[in-house]
Amino acid sequence: MTDKSSNQMWGGRFASGPDAIMEAINASIGFDKRMAAQDIAGSRAHAAMLAAQGIISDSDAEAIRKGLLTVLSEIEGGNFEFSTALEDIHMNVEARLKEIIGEPAGRLHTGRSRNDQVATDFRLWVRDQLDAAEAGLLALIRALLAQAEAGADWVMPGFTHLQTAQPVTWGHHMMAYVEMFGRDLSRVRDARDRMNESPLGAAALAGTSFPIDRHMTAAALGFARPCANSLDAVSDRDFALEFLSVASICAMHLSRFAEELVIWSSAQFRFVTLSDRFSTGSSIMPQKKNPDAAELIRAKIGRIFGANTALMMVMKGLPLAYSKDMQEDKEQAFDAADNWMLALAAMEGMVRDMTGNRDALAAAAGAGFSTATDLADWLVRVLGMPFRDAHHVTGALVAQAEAKGCDLPELTLDDMRAVHPDITDAVFDVLGVDNSVNSRTSYGGTAPAQVLVQVLRWKEQIG
Ligand code: ARG
């Protein structure tokens, strides 16, 4: 086949074959061979439908079916010779099918085009990735729930502006990420539902005059229904863009958590110890244990954002229907998907293995006047002060502690009374961090009891 200079699939009107540079810029086989299984699944569904509709004979359909299985096993076994001259996975598979079964192979492309073929293959591939992302997210959420449950009542500092704000619980902090990854999970499921329509049978752009059954091929490939407009079916890449957008938001969450793990595992914080399995050493500094997985998660995220932006740029200027620009959809999505799955798995492993350092967390929780808000609330509740005045009095007490070089609970009652004479020693009850977190029982608050309510809710929700 490749001995002819013009292309065997479309070269009828061509006197010469393509320039080498043309072939290089045109070919997608170098990357779209990744969709071989999806391409063959689509072709099998199409051939079975053509026979059921009487468009090709049953014996041709059977030859095609068997031949495609042979091609698939050759590809999966690494015994397939991909040809750049045959451009892409669609033509590589079909050309090999012809070598194996001869003439019936030429009937496979009846009533379809590479335009609906590639849209179908890519949807199937993206759908598989959404399923993999769902599994990865569920595993990560389970790892977070285990951490949250084990440390529901461990106190740690809660931050705003990365300055100590109020004490929170470890469980509460873990559950914040469960909420974030839980939204990612629902976005993944939502995107899958919306994208699960079959472009197959839209043909080049206008549909076909053959009496095909698009509902049959859609059902065979696990799609909920066929796409309702043939122009849209071949020109739409929203499904890939939604995949990349969902991936981007999730990647942003992964990166924020990775950033926290980098900070938390430092000698200055020591909030967590990452396991040896998810850390690396330094070749020169023997004491080092570096959080490389977290750093790489933080860094890889840029590729996912980049893929999303790149595909937006590819699509934004395209008139209907198919343009070859759209071939640029795949490499970016492949790379983003690989890195997203890897980042999810690495994060799950790190979370599963990490040890929260309860003592260091508790020591940090009490530092930095973290119970100042509790003190102000006490002045309001017990002395009946307006909150603004209580805020002011508390500020004076903080300044006093700062001047003495101690934290709020270490001030004496006399120190306090010098600022406000009505303060009693009952105030010391609210200055402890355990009392502080235990008091925050409002729905969604940091109290251990609230954390456990949310852990239970999530466990029931994800099964
Ligand atoms: N390799 C192409 C792609 O990835 C397949 C579709 C080609 N269609 C065409 N009319 N040239 O988009």
pLDDT digits (tens, 9 = 90+) for 241-271: 999 999 999 999 999 999 999 999 999 999 9
Q: 281: pLDDT confidence band, cut at 50, 70 and 90?
A: confident
| Of 408, 415, 420, nearest in space to 380 by CA | 420
Report the pLDDT averaged over residues 436-463. 95
Q: What is the DSSP letter of 318?
A: P
pLDDT of residue 1: 42
pTM, 2 dp: 0.93
pLDDT of residue 2: 43
pLDDT of residue 11: 80
pLDDT of residue 231: 98
Ligand 1 centroid distance, CA of 79 (Å): 24
Ligand 1 centroid distance, CA of 324 (Å): 6
pLDDT of residue 391: 96
- DSSP strand E in 85-222: where? 155-160, 163-169, 197-198
pLDDT of residue 21: 94
CB contact set of 391 (below 8 Å; sequence gap of 6+): 376
pLDDT of residue 172: 98
What are φ and ψ of residue 177, in 5° steps? -70, -30
What would the pLDDT profile of 44-80 be if each residue is shown by its tens digit? 999 999 999 999 999 999 999 999 999 999 999 999 9
Catalytic residues: 161, 282
pLDDT of residue 14: 87
For residues 415 and 108, the answer to whether their CB atoms sit within 8 Å is no
Ligand 1, atom 12, lies closest to the CA of 327
Strand partners, 290: 280
The average confidence (pLDDT) of the chain is 95
For the CA of 204, the nearest atom of ligand 1: 10
Determine if residue 320 is left, alpha or beta; phi over 0 gives left, psi from -120 to 50 gives alpha, anything else beta. beta
- Mutation to probe ligand 1, out of 35, 324, 330 (largest number of atoms < 8 A from CB): 324
For the CA of 88, the nearest atom of ligand 1: 1
The half-sphere exposure of 408 on its side-chain side, counting CA atoms within 13 A, is 27
Q: Which CA distances in Å does 255 have to 219, 260, 296, 300, 372?
A: 38, 9, 9, 9, 31
| Rounded distance between C-alpha atoms, residue 103 and residue 59, angstroms | 12
For residues 364 and 156, the answer to whether their CB atoms sit within 8 Å is yes
Q: Is the pLDDT of residue 3 over 60?
A: no
Report the pLDDT averaged over residues 281-294. 83
pLDDT of residue 66: 98
Q: What is the DSSP letter of 269?
A: T
Report the pLDDT averaged over residues 179-204. 98
What would the pLDDT profile of 195-209 be if each residue is shown by its tens digit? 999 999 999 999 999
Q: Which of 2-11, 29-38, 252-261, 365-374 has the lowest mean pLDDT?
A: 2-11
| Of 244, 241, 350, nearest in space to 298 by CA | 350
What would the pLDDT profile of 12-44 be if each residue is shown by its tens digit? 888 888 899 999 999 999 999 999 999 999 999
pLDDT of residue 280: 83
Q: Ligand 1 pocket by C-beta < 6 Å: which residues? A: 28, 32, 88, 114-115, 118, 322, 324, 326-327
pLDDT of residue 4: 52
Q: 302: pLDDT confidence band, cut at 50, 70 and 90?
A: very high
pLDDT of residue 144: 98
For the CA of 330, the nearest atom of ligand 1: 4
Ligand 1, atom 11, lies closest to the CA of 324
Ligand 1 centroid distance, CA of 131 (Å): 25
Q: Which of 88-92, 130-134, 161-165, 253-257 has the lowest mean pLDDT?
A: 161-165
Ligand 1 centroid distance, CA of 320 (Å): 14
Identity of the highest mean pLDDT range in 212-226, 286-300, 409-423 = 212-226
Q: 286: pLDDT confidence band, cut at 50, 70 and 90?
A: confident
